[in-house]
Amino acid sequence: MSKKKQFGILCSFLVLTSSFILHGENKLPNDIRWVRESSEYNNLCAQIFTQARKEIIKTTKSERNRKNHAVVVDLDETVLDNSRYQVERWETGLSFTQDSWSDWVNREDAELISGAKVFLTAIRKEGVQVIFLSNRMDSNLKPTLRNLEALGVLDSSDLFLLRKNKFDTKETRRSEVLEGKGRMKKHGPLKVIGYVGDQMGDFPNESKADFGKSNFLLPNPMYGKW
């Protein structure tokens, strides 16, 4: 084989290899790509919120005394789409850290999950109290409020139970809602007719019968306790 031919083959090999490497590096991992780029993700979220809206309105209309009905809604990957944070971490080759997460929350750049706005507007109209119960730190309440307001999903009637410290579990806060104690003392006990979240920890029970009735689970392939 001539030297010229050998050089040609080598060049072709290098071009093929480098394009493979570049393509591989540029392509987002499937989990993040599904959330950011697929119609399936958006339609699935909207579908779940539609079902949640119908079931919750049906429940609240079926009870005469419905003054104290509430729905407990998670924030991240339920109402707020933080997939851009996941992209940025992936681009830098780093994983989740509390500091980088706090920086992200303070940027107020989270986007809106499909279907969330219609759902929240509809249940508020029925007199259902919306309670955002999230593991965002309570110290990050202000940027969270501004982010929600900019997305058009904040109402002055909404209540927030964010995490005060590592002992302040979601279970603790859920019992404050049900028993009207602690941070919920001035509101009195509320009857929670629905929970919406993306992690099993967003629900008080894992009873299969409750999913689709009072528990509404959004998809999140990017992180979780699996």
Output 78 or 129, the one with its CB closest to Mg ion.
Answer: 78
User: By CB under 5 A, which span of 7-15, 56-64, 166-174, 197-205 interacts with Mg ion?
Assistant: 197-205
Choice between 77 and 176, CB closer to Mg ion: 77
Specify the residue, 60 or 75, whose C-beta has the smaller distance to Mg ion: 75
Residue 81 within binding range of Mg ion, rule CB under 5 A: no
Q: How many residues bind Mg ion (CB under 5 A)?
A: 4
77 near Mg ion (CB under 5 A): yes
CB 162 within 8 A of CB 136: yes
Mark the segment that binds Mg ion (CB under 5 A) among 42-50, 77-85, 97-105, 124-132. Answer: 77-85
Nearest-approach distance from CB 78 to Mg ion, in angstroms: 5
Structure tokens at 37: 């780029």
> Per rule CB under 5 A, is residue 76 in the interface with Mg ion?
yes
| 74 part of the interface to Mg ion, by CB under 5 A | yes
DSSP annotation of 105: H
* Per-residue tokens: 109: 């750049």
The interaxial angle of helices 141-150 and 98-107, nearest 10 deg, is: 40
Residue 116 burial (CB count, 10 A): 25
Residues present in the chain in total: 226
Q: Does 168 bind Mg ion (CB under 5 A)?
A: no
Comparing CB distances to Mg ion, the nearer of 70 and 133 is 133
Q: Are 123 and 116 within 8 A, CB to CB?
A: no
CA atoms within 13 A on the CB side of 76: 23
> Which residue's Cβ has the minimum distance to Mg ion?
76
Stretch that binds Mg ion, among 33-41, 42-50, 99-107, 192-200 (CB under 5 A): 192-200
At 128, the amino acid letter reads V
Does residue number 176 form part of the binding site for Mg ion (CB under 5 A)? no
Instruction: Please name the residues in contact with 110: beta carbons below 8 A apart, sequence gap of 6 or more.
Output: 76, 80, 81, 82, 84, 85, 104, 147, 151
Residues that bind Mg ion (CB under 5 A): 74, 76-77, 198
